[in-house]
Amino acid sequence: MLFWPRAIAVWLLIMLLESVLATLRALFLAPAIGDFPARQLGVLTGCVLVFLVTLIAFIWLRARSGGALLRIGALWVSLTVLFEAGLGRLVLGFDWARILSDYDLSRGGLMGLGLVAMLLTPLVVGKIRGLPVKS
* Domain boundaries of the chain, sorted by first residue: 4-128
Question: Measured between alpha carbons, how far is 78 from 12 in angstroms, rounded to an integer?
Answer: 13
Question: What is the per-residue pLDDT across 13-32, written as a single tens digit (0 to 9) for each?
Answer: 999 999 999 999 999 999 99
Per-residue buried b or exposed e for 19-47, using 16+ beta carbons within 10 Å of the residue's own CB: eeebeebeeebbeeeeeeebbbebbebbb
Kindly report, residue by residue over 104-135, the tens digit of the pLDDT.
Answer: 999 889 999 999 999 999 999 999 998 775 55
- Percent of the chain scored above 70 by pLDDT? 96
